Amino acid sequence: MKPMKYAFFLGCLIPAREPQYENSVRKIAPELGMELVEMEGANCCAPFSIQSLDYVSWLALAARNLCMAEQMNLNILALCNDCYESLLATNTILKENHEVRDKVNEILADVGLEFKGKTDVKIFSDALYEDVGIKRVKDAVKKPFNGLRVAVQPGCHLTKPKRIHFKQQMGVIALDELVNATGAVSVPYERKDACCGGPLRGINDEVALRVAKQKLDSIRAAGVDCIVTVCPFCFLELDMGQLEIRRHLKEEYDLPVLNFADLLRMAMGMKLENWEIKAHRIPITKILNMAGAK
Find the binder of another protein among 34, 79, 128, 156 (CB under 8 A).
156
Is 272 in contact with 241 (CB distance < 8 Å)? no
Q: Which alpha helices (H) appear in 128-204, and where do they start and end?
A: 134-140, 170-181
Query: What is the separation, in whole angstroms, between the first and last Cα of the chain?
Result: 34
Note the Cα 166 to chain centre separation in Å: 18
Site track for another protein across 111-140, x = CB under 8 A:
x-----------------------------
49 is a contact residue toward another protein (CB under 8 A): yes
Give the DSSP H/E element, type plus range, for residue 184.
none
99 is a contact residue toward another protein (CB under 8 A): no
227 is a contact residue toward another protein (CB under 8 A): no
Cα–Cα dist 136/27, whole Å: 16
Find the binder of another protein among 30, 43, 147, 221 (CB under 8 A).
43
162 is a contact residue toward another protein (CB under 8 A): yes
Instruction: Pick the closer one to another protein by CB: 41 or 188.
Output: 41
Cα–Cα dist 236/15, whole Å: 13
Find the binder of another protein among 7, 29, 32, 42 (CB under 8 A).
42
Give the DSSP H/E element, type plus range, for residue 38.
strand 35-38
| Count of residues engaged in binding another protein, rule: CB under 8 A | 59
Q: Which alpha helices (H) appear in 205-259, and where do they start and end?
A: 205-221, 232-248
Find the binder of another protein among 107, 170, 173, 270 (CB under 8 A).
107
Cα–Cα dist 54/51, whole Å: 6
Q: Smallest distance from the beta carbon of 77 to another protein, in angstroms?
A: 14
Residues binding another protein (CB under 8 A): 10, 12-13, 15-17, 19, 22-23, 26, 38, 40-44, 46-57, 60-61, 64, 100, 107-108, 110-111, 156-157, 160-163, 193-195, 197-204, 207, 210-211, 214, 273, 275
